[in-house]
C-alpha cells in the first residue's frame, strides 16, 4: 500500500492518504491496523462509501459492536446516523467527553465515523490520549489507580429520566431510552490495551459513575480530578472534518467529544463500531 501518513503532535492522530477503503487486500488491512494502534486516531480523506461499503470495511477490522439506545439506519442494523438538523436546540450528540459504550461488559475496540454532510463552520471532534494522561501521573498515583475498579453506567444519557433531562425527545436522531441503562458494569480504572500492552487512564465523565473501592464522596472527588486531568490541552487533538472523510479511533485508550458551533447548518455522519473485549484488572 503506497500511502502518505501525516502525524499530529506526539503521534496522537494521523491522516492517511493514497488508499481506497473500498478495495483493500489483507496486507493493507494489517498496515491500517498497525497505523491505528500507533496513532490511535486515523482519518482517511476522500472516501466515498455507501452503507454496504462502510459495513464491509468495518468487518475487515473485526465483528460489529453492539449498538444500544440509538435506532440504526433502515436495513442496516449496525450503522447509526449521527444527525443534527439546522434548527435543533439541544447540544450535539456526543457533546460530553466519553469513550463509546464503556458501560458495556465488552466495550467496542473501535469507532468508525464517515462524514456525509459537514457544515462550513464548527463541528470538530476533540480526542484525548489516555496513554499520555496516565503516563503524566506520578508513579505512586499510577500504582494506586491500578488497584481500583471504576463503575460505568448508561443511566445519565439513556435512562428514561436521563433521556428527558438531556432533551432526547427534541433530537432528529431516534434515541431509545431503557431501564437497562440503570445497570452497572465494573472496569479497571487503568486499562491495559490487549494489543499494545500499554496502559491508559480509562474513565469518562458520561459513563463513569463511581469507584467500587471508595465511598461516593471520595470517589466523586477523585473522578472529578481525573476527568479534568485526562482532557488537559496537552493530551488533546482537535480533528477537523471534511465531507467523505472516514475516521477510526481506539476506544480502549481514547476519549472523544463532539463540538458544536454550527447552528443553522445540517451535519450528518454514519457510524459503526468494532467489537472489543472485556477490560481486565492489572496491578503490576
Residues tagged active-site: 98, 100, 256, 271
Q: If DSSP states are collapsed to H, E and C, what string results for 127-156? A: EEEHHHHHHCCCHHHHHHHCCCEEEECCHH
Q: Round to the nearest angstrom and report the end-to-end CA distance of the chain.
A: 38
Beta-carbon contacts of residue 56 (< 8 Å; ≥ 6 apart):
22
Strands 190-192 and 199-201 come out as: antiparallel
E-assigned strands of the chain?
4-7, 14-17, 41-44, 80-84, 110-117, 125-129, 149-152, 185-188, 190-192, 199-201, 208-211, 236-239, 246-250, 254-258, 267-274
Give the span between the Cα atoms of 34 and 51, in whole angstroms: 25
Amino acid at each position: 500500500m503506497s500511502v502518505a501518513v501525516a502525524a499530529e503532535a506526539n503521534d496522537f492522530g494521523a491522516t492517511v492518504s493514497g488508499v481506497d477503503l473500498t478495495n483493500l487486500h489483507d496486507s493493507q488491512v494489517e498496515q491500517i491496523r498497525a497505523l491505528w494502534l500507533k496513532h490511535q486516531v486515523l482519518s482517511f480523506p476522500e472516501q466515498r462509501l455507501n452503507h454496504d461499503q462502510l459495513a464491509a470495511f468495518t468487518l475487515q477490522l473485526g465483528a460489529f459492536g453492539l449498538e444500544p439506545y440509538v435506532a440504526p439506519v433502515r436495513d442496516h442494523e449496525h450503522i447509526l446516523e449521527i444527525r443534527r438538523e439546522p434548527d435543533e436546540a439541544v447540544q450535539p450528540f456526543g457533546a460530553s467527553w466519553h469513550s463509546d459504550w464503556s458501560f458495556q461488559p465488552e466495550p467496542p475496540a473501535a469507532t468508525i465515523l464517515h462524514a456525509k454532510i459537514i457544515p462550513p463552520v464548527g463541528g470538530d471532534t476533540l480526542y484525548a490520549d489516555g496513554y499520555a494522561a496516565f503516563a503524566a501521573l506520578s508513579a505512586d498515583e499510577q500504582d494506586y489507580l491500578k488497584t481500583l475498579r471504576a463503575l460505568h453506567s448508561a443511566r445519565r444519557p439513556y435512562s428514561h429520566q436521563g433521556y428527558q433531562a438531556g432533551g432526547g425527545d427534541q433530537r432528529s436522531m431516534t434515541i431509545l431510552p431503557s431501564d437497562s441503562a440503570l445497570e452497572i458494569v465494573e472496569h479497571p480504572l487503568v486499562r491495559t490495551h490487549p494489543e499494545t500492552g500499554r496502559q491508559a487512564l480509562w474513565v469518562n465523565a458520561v459513563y463513569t459513575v463511581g469507584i467500587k473501592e471508595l465511598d461516593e464522596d471520595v470517589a466523586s472527588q477523585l473522578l472529578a480530578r481525573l476527568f479534568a486531568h485526562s482532557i488537559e490541552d496537552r493530551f488533546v487533538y482537535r480533528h477537523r472534518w471534511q465531507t467523505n472523510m472516514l475516521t477510526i479511533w481506539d476506544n480502549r485508550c481514547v476519549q472523544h467529544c463532539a463540538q458544536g458551533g454550527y447552528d443553522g447548518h445540517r451535519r450528518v455522519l454514519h457510524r459503526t463500531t468494532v467489537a472489543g473485549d472485556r477490560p481486565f484488572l492489572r496491578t503490576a
